[in-house]
Amino acid sequence: MITAMDVDHPDDDQRWDRRQRGETEVERLDRNWNSLLQELRVVQTGVQLLTGFLLTLPFQQRFDILGDDMRGVYLATVGCSVAATLLLIAPVGMHRLLFRRHRLAVLVSAAHRCAYAGLLLLGLALTGVTVIIFDAVAGTVAGIIAGALALAMFAVFWLVVPVLLRTRDVELPDL
């Protein structure tokens, strides 16, 4: 049985890594940094494309069909998307500034928090895009319903499920 590890209080996790993996602190930090980079690679391209798409919308002929309320949703969505892009790319800039300064623990911790905040903002941006598209195609009620469903799905799959997995014992099947 594997028990949940608490990223906010990593002492138990670090002891487990030393005991089960035979890792030194530096090896653990290197592994954590590489794991974080792989996760960021998955979302960076998508969030950059989303932001680029959103930034071009006001220059399209049909943008005028958005009412004042939807323009507000659009602006909030652009804000979330730009902030998500910034936060999901920030670890690269941090790495460049901290390179060869032996600050890997600080880098991993700060990048973890940037990635987490960036993912939350990405979820909000995707929710906003869902509202805008459904509103433009099927009307305001459809936009609100689709946005609520999208937000609920992000909340469940990006927050609730991981928190449940993090705070409960997880049994892995025998292979």
Both tokens of 145, joined, read 């319903």
Give the whole-angstrom CA distance, residue 143 versus residue 51.
20
pLDDT of residue 106: 92
* Cβ pair 65, 136 in contact under 8 A: yes
Which of 15-29, 102-116, 146-160 is least confident?
15-29
What pLDDT digit, counting tens, does each position of 116-166 carry? 999 999 999 999 999 999 999 999 999 999 999 999 999 999 999 988 888
pTM of the shown model: 0.83
Residue 76 has pLDDT above 80, yes or no: yes
Reduced to 3 states (helix: H, G, I; strand: E, B; else coil), residue 9 is coil
Burial of 114 (0-12, 13-18, 19+ CB in 10 A): buried
Burial of 130 (0-12, 13-18, 19+ CB in 10 A): buried
**Closest of 66, 166, 76, 67 to residue 116, by C-alpha:** 166
* Cβ pair 110, 94 in contact under 8 A: yes
Give the whole-angstrom CA distance, residue 16 versus residue 25.
11
- Count Cα neighbours of 46 within 13 Å in the Cβ-side half-sphere: 11
